[in-house]
Structure 1
Amino acid sequence: MAASSSKSSLSVSSLAPIGAVAAMLSRWGLSTLKALLLEPIRVNPPVWLRVLFGLLVVANVRSTPLLWHIRVWYPAIKAIVRARACFLTPKSQALSHKAIQPQLRLETLPIGKDIFEDMSSYSFLATLDECDWNSHLSNSSYSRSLDCARMAHNVPRFIKMFSDGGSVALGGSGFSFHREIPMLARYTIRMSVEAWDDKWLYLVGRFVSPAKPSSKKPAAAACSASTDAITEKLLPGETLYCTSTSRYVCKAGRRTIPPWLMIAASGYGTTSSNWQKAEKLRVYYLEKERKAYLEKTGKKSISAKADAKLRKKAPLLRQYRLQAERQGTEEEAWMDKSYWDLEEWETRRKQGLQRLLTSVGVLPPLEK
């Protein structure tokens, strides 16, 4: 009896797929598949449901999938295209050294600029999907807007660092909330470098209201232990909503690059001396790699493929060595802070570190 039941079950399990395929290939099955796959699905919801769906989409438009990625990466891609000397950008006579690729348009770089005066502003709107039940911008939404502002501020200013073999990583961020941002209110994030030490670069973002032209005195911030420190960079008529401090570390491979070197090699300074020094070093290390290659191989010329590999070995920041790794040669002089013109910022740099301690209070000092 058991044997017969097992045979019947086996036969049913074997015939079931065959029956399903036969049903799909029948006239009824083919017409059903055609209706499902080829013909459009006709839905005719009532008007109130259409209006409700439209309002739902509009209210959450900032949360559309992939929109955050577009908002963050668009200013970075725009800065790269604008800086490159290519067919997409206007012709420029002032370019970086032709031996160092990619060539960049000098007018897009921060050459001869004071890093503490180099600020950027980005406007936002407190949309419905970013606000909480208290009818003001949710605390979690501050970080989302700050992502866009940080990317738009950093990439154009430190774009040369990437071709120099460096990269930056966010090591931490902190927020001090002073006043709430009302729902549907416009606000501005003003980004600027506040200070740096031997490892971290501190970037401050101030969430402020749009300035009122009729105001003559700076608006007061919320009650805080350090009102003077956090409002000193406000414009007349602005209200300070939030202060954010982000700290970045620069890396070239496994080595930590001090912020002062990243700043100087990017061209910052009231003169162009830092940029000129960096360009000479870039050319020197590239020619050094080429010379070593010719001596090693015995060739008289370098192919394009071999030259591309040499360029990957020659980026400036990848030549940097920590103090314990140096041999004390004259070639390593640029690895010391005294080689660069940085004294003009030293007083303001220390003042910035002190402001961070008294205003934000979440990032411990790393230099004594």
Structure 2
Amino acid sequence: MAPLTRRLPQFPILRLSFGSFSSRFLKYIVFLLFLVNIRSWPLSWHFRIFQPIFALRLRLQLYRLSVLWKPKYVRDRAKARWLCALSPVGENPLNFTVAWRGWATPDDCDFNMHLSNSCYAKSFDWARLAYILKAFPAFFRTGGWMALGGTHYNFLREIRILSRYEVRVSIAAWDHKWIYIVARYVSKPKPKGKSQSRRDSHSQSDLEIRLPPTPPERDARARKVPIPLLHTPAKPDDKCDAYLPPSPVSPTYPLGASTLPADASCDDKPDSRVIAAALRTQARVHEEPDGATLHCVAVSALCFKIGRITVPPALVLACDGFCDSASKTYSHAQPPPFWPHVQRLRGSELDLGALRAFFTGGWREVPERERWWEQAFGGEFEERRQAGMEVVGALRKGMEGVQGL
């Protein structure tokens, strides 16, 4: 009797070798996974956040090489001019904006195929440092840094995977200690083709034909009213064809109120359901003045520090050249009136020891009436700052109140 093993059929055995197709395919897959997640490799976050510093130092070294063969006093003078030119002299701090550009890579997205919530904070870290280096170069050359006190996010629309977006950072307001920085996550619309533009023009013309024109007295743009334009077509049995509150802060006609005063005429009484629907539609439209789509708004509270010493924000802003440029335009050629005080502190720009000493306590010895850095901002600018403080200050107080719940 033959052994049992001889009776069984001989099945072919798949042998994998190092050079086989299956092995090469697995190696390509592993390499592709590493390549897709390259921005999440160890130390990649540190490299990206310090990239603006590396780029700034590289620019300085290239400039020093361009004047290498000149006399020493010429090199020092040229370097001082280059360092002074970094400060945004004459800029309005409330209008100074820096845009950081990125894109939603697969390692930054979640299972819903859009940018993960945690990656908004990571992008804000990169954008915030890029803004700080451009806005406060003199302060950081003195050894200063900015401590983060808190950040609040308001998510409006998702950023889809592989989409490009911008983080536009600007200053909202500041007080004696805190400065509030706002980040707006936006994406620019894709350029439309000829066929799409033609369809949009036809749809817009059809809309203009169907809807009657808005009377001038009810046109928000004509009356300079900063609220959404609402126009409701008239019903057959109703004479009330539109409603527009006279002011967004009017106590008589509060925006979004469901009822109106009893003495209001028919022309002033709206259809509350139509107005509520129009407001909900307006809330879903997040568009920037340049046409970009707004996805998220973040507010950070920071304070200026040298070691453990807190420096007033107004002092740092003035020493880097920010001022109220609403009434007159200032620049490096025509600096603001307080700039001679800053020049005495900054000296030759090569050694900022006097400015550092002033930041760390020298400013306290200046009488309040002679504090030129506080007089650098006034008029309409001060009104804008106070209005911004009412908004961001209420946000901070609300978040601090949550701690007691």
TM-score (normalizing by structure 1): 0.64
Distance 1:89 1:356 in 2: 46
Aligned partner letter, 1:175 = Y
Describe the shift of the 1:353–1:277 C-alpha distance in structure 2 as closer, same or farther (beyond 3 A): same
Query: For residues 143 and 344 of structure 1, do their structure 2 counterparts lie closer, same or farther at Cα, with a shift above 3 Å needed?
Result: same
For residues 358 and 212 of structure 1, what CA distance do their matches in structure 2 show? 37
Instruction: Name 1:246's counterpart in structure 2.
Output: 300
Which residue number corresponds to residue 255 of structure 1?
Answer: 309
In structure 2, what residue type is equivalent to 1:55? L
Select which of 361, 370, 391 maps to 1:320: 361
For residues 150 and 113 of structure 2, the distance between their equivalents in structure 1, rounded to whole angstroms, comes to 28
1:48-82, CA deviations, whole angstroms, 9 ceiling, x for partnerless residues? 20221122112212112222111110112323554
Structure 1 position 130 matched with structure 2 position 166 = no
Q: Structure 1 stretch 240-249 or stretch 275-284: which is displaced more?
A: 275-284
Match of 1:187 among 138, 162, 165: 165
Deviations 1:266-314 (A, max 9, x none): 1112332243321123449x9xxxxxxxxxxxxxxxxxxxxx8xx7466
Q: Which one of the candidate residues 122, 142, 145 is aligned to 2:123?
A: 145
TM-score, structure 2 as length reference: 0.59
Q: Which residue of 2 aligns with 1:346?
A: 382
Once the two structures are TM-superposed, the CA of residue 196 in structure 1 deviates from its matched residue by: 0.7
Q: Secondary structure at the match of 2:172?
A: strand
Q: CA contact under 8 A between 2:96 and 2:170: conserved in structure 1?
A: yes
- Counterparts of 2:66 and 2:97 in 1: how far apart (Å)? 24
Q: Which amino acid aligns with 1:184?
A: L
The Cα of 1:134 is off from its aligned counterpart by 1.4
Over 3 Å counting, the alpha-carbon distance change for 1:211 and 1:363 in structure 2 is farther
Paired with 1:338 and 1:196, the residues of 2 have a C-alpha distance of 12
How many residue pairs end up in the alignment? 283
Determine if the alignment matches structure 1 residue 113 to structure 2 residue 91.
Answer: yes
Q: How does 1:1-368 map to 2 (within 5 A)?
A: 46-82=23-59, 86-88=63-65, 104-212=82-190, 234-269=288-323, 270=325, 271=330, 272-273=335-336, 274-283=338-347, 312=353, 315-318=356-359, 320=361, 326=365, 328=367, 335=371, 337-343=373-379, 345-356=381-392
Secondary structure at 2:146 match in 1: strand
SS in 2 for 1:122: strand
Instruction: Give the C-alpha shift of residue 197 in structure 1.
Output: 1.1
Report which stretch shifted further, 112-121 or 80-89.
80-89
Amino acid in structure 2 at the alignment position of 1:178: L
- Report SS of the residue matched to 2:91: coil
Which runs of 5 or more structure 1 residues have no equivalent in the other structure?
Answer: 1-41, 92-97, 287-307
CA-based RMSD of the aligned residues comes to 4.1
CA contact (8 A) 2:151 2:298 kept: yes
Identity within the alignment, %: 31
DSSP 3-state at the match of 2:64: coil
Paired letter, 1:255? I
Deviation per residue, 1:303-327 (Å, 9 max, x gap) = xxxxx8xx7466253453576xx48
CA distance in 1 between counterparts of 2:66 and 2:155 reads: 41
Instruction: Give the Cα separation in 2 of the matches to 1:90 and 1:176.
Output: 49
Moved more, 131-140 or 336-345: 336-345
What's the offset of the Cα at 1:166?
3.1
In structure 2, the CA distance between the partners of 1:74 and 1:203, relative to structure 1 (3 Å rule), is same
Deviations 1:229-281 (A, max 9, x none): x968x233322111111111012343321111110111112332243321123
Structure 1: distance between partners of 2:184 and 2:103: 15
The structure that is helix-richer by fraction is 1
